[in-house]
Amino acid sequence: MLSERLLNALNDQLKYEFDSSHLYLSMAAYCASQDFDGFAHFFRIQAEEERFHAMKFFDFIHAKGSNVVIKGVEEPSMQYDSILDAFEKAYEHEKSVTKRVYNLMDIATEEREHATISFLRWFVDEQVEEEASFDMIKKKIKRIKDDTNALYMLDDELGNRTYTPPKEEN
């Protein structure tokens, strides 16, 4: 059984993952409104990935015999100055997710809750990938500057993104 402190933190993270999904859908909507369907697709796939992350927390909390608490999601910002602005905000958001995962790991380690530590290792590794991905795209957009041809090429490239949830290891 999870301690109340750890359970509350895990349920908060479950909510935050759903918040993240909504944030990325808002970014997808912005990109679509600017006729950048590839960037919109990228963010829609990212939203799907965040929902998968939320459900991992859901399943873990349940498996530990604790109560999952579903809280309302935050209304995301719909205001972005540019494609670059959306990716910069997404990168900053992923850095905040990393801090939250580290905090969860700190609590689990402090409480010597080994199953939770094992569960969270996947998220620690995932956050390295998430931050690197957003940072790379952000840097590419900065290098592109006002080259609309290059921007549309990147839009086309990101439109090919796919997501297949990883198989659960048993």
First to last CA, the chain: 20
- Out of 3.40.50.1980, 1.20.1260.10, 3.30.365.10, 3.20.20.60, select the CATH number for domain 4-158: 1.20.1260.10
List Cα–Cα distances, 55 to 85, 136, 154, in angstroms.
Answer: 29, 27, 31
**pLDDT tens readout for residues 67-105:** 999 999 889 988 999 999 999 999 999 999 999 999 999
* Residue 103 confidence (pLDDT): 98
**pLDDT tens readout for residues 133-145:** 999 999 999 999 9
**Longest pairwise C-alpha distance within the chain:** 55
Whole-prediction pTM: 0.92
CB 135 within 8 A of CB 113: no
